[in-house]
Structure 1
């Protein structure tokens, strides 16, 4: 199968390209560094030539009110170019519960991206993932100083990017869902407790304070970021991942 990965040099995309190639597929990684600009459409026709499936794992450069325009423009270019190229299956990576948090600009933007795909010309699949293990440092950094980290008690169900890539690879090489698949980690945590676990394991002596107004996830109500009963649960536990040495990026 010939597959184009848009955003194929990023955190998820680079792993997905490797995973698909190991499985014997012909894969084209596409990004700004390879001459493909989704905002202008430059290079898309060449990148999609002969592709059976396109997997779009690009991300908006900002999480603010500019993000809806990014996804509106880039999805328009990708769907139009895909139709010209005869692409049979369009796949995007989204977020569990994304349509339940309209107070966040970025989540509204991702919901728009999903809607554009559903109403587009091609068969499609939407893979919604929970928050990545690898983003925990960034989440803590938003409200941290040298001695403290402030986090809300928002419940999340984090997942390793390796497990997200496995799900994307399976969906990309199968028949289109024309629907949505949730993928999530095996364990649910309160975000403040996850911060304490992370710092303790690393022997980082900063104190985590529970602050329901701290950071982006303070805007999330209830359990909307928790996967539903039909979700695909990944095998990797956060505690095991956190304790496993990894090579620097």
Structure 2
């Protein structure tokens, strides 16, 4: 099968392309760097022409109130191009629990992206993943100073990017779900605990202070970012750190 992977040069997209090609498919990466712009529409028709499946892994450049406009425009342009090109299946990557955290602009934007896809004219699949292990370093910088890192005790179920990519590639190569598949890491941690584990592994002597008001994840109530009924990935956080 032929796949057009939009956002195919990023963390997840590059690995999806690799996995699909390794499985014997023809997967072509497309991004701004290859001349494809999902906002202006430049290059989209050519990118998806002849593809059986489009995998959209583009992401908003910001996580703020501008993110809904990005996803609305990009999805409208992508679906129009896919319909014109005869694409039979469109796949996107979203977030486990996104619909449970309306306080966050970015999560509302991801739900908007899902809704646009589901209401569109093409069979579809939505893969929702828990938080990426690779993002933990960034999380540790959001509310940090020289001696401390403040984090809430939000339950997190970290998943490795390679496992996310494998799941996306599997769904893309299969029949459309016309629905959602949740994937997650094998273990659940409190975010502050995960911070301590990460700093200890790096030999970082800063102290993690539990602060329910600190950072983006302070807006999350309960364990909505985890799902023990999701398809569990094999990579454990300790193994990923090592």
CA distance in 2, matches of 1:133, 1:228: 17
Q: Is the 8 A contact 1:20 1:169 kept in 2?
A: yes
Q: Is the 8 A contact 1:186 1:234 kept in 2?
A: yes
For residue 226 of structure 1, report the CA deviation from its aligned partner. 0.7
Return 5+ residue gaps in structure 1 as ranges: 244-249
Residue 235 (structure 1) aligned with residue 241 (structure 2): no
For residue 201 of structure 1, report the CA deviation from its aligned partner. 1.2
CA distance in 2, matches of 1:216, 1:176: 33
For residue 147 of structure 1, report the CA deviation from its aligned partner. 1.1
For residue 132 of structure 1, report the CA deviation from its aligned partner. 0.3
Residue 146 (structure 1) aligned with residue 146 (structure 2): yes
SS at match of 2:194: helix
CA distance in 2, matches of 1:149, 1:119: 42
For residue 145 of structure 1, report the CA deviation from its aligned partner. 1.4
For residue 146 of structure 1, report the CA deviation from its aligned partner. 1.6
SS at match of 2:61: coil
Residue of structure 1 in register with 2:185 after alignment: 185
- TM normalised by structure 1 equals 0.96
Name the stretch that deviates more: 98-107 or 13-22: 13-22
Write the deviation string for residues 29-63 of structure 1: whole angstroms up to 9, x where unpaired. 11000000000111011100110000011100000
Q: Equivalences for 1:5-44 in 2 at 5 Å?
A: 5-44=5-44
CA distance in 2, matches of 1:30, 1:241: 28
Residue of structure 2 in register with 1:127 after alignment: 127
Residue 137 (structure 1) aligned with residue 140 (structure 2): no
SS at match of 1:74: helix
For residue 19 of structure 1, report the CA deviation from its aligned partner. 1.1
CA distance in 1, matches of 2:49, 2:104: 36
RMSD: 0.6
Q: Equivalences for 1:197-208 in 2 at 5 Å?
A: 197-208=197-208
CA distance in 2, matches of 1:45, 1:108: 28
- TM normalised by structure 2 equals 0.99
SS at match of 1:140: helix
Residue of structure 2 in register with 1:168 after alignment: 168
CA distance in 2, matches of 1:4, 1:239: 34
Residue of structure 1 in register with 2:219 after alignment: 219
For residue 24 of structure 1, report the CA deviation from its aligned partner. 1.1
For residue 228 of structure 1, report the CA deviation from its aligned partner. 4.7
Aligned residues: 242
SS at match of 1:3: strand
Residue of structure 2 in register with 1:69 after alignment: 69
After TM superposition, where is structure 1 displaced by more than 4 Å over at least 4 residues in a row? none
Q: Is the 8 A contact 1:182 1:228 kept in 2?
A: no
Name the stretch that deviates more: 17-26 or 2-11: 17-26
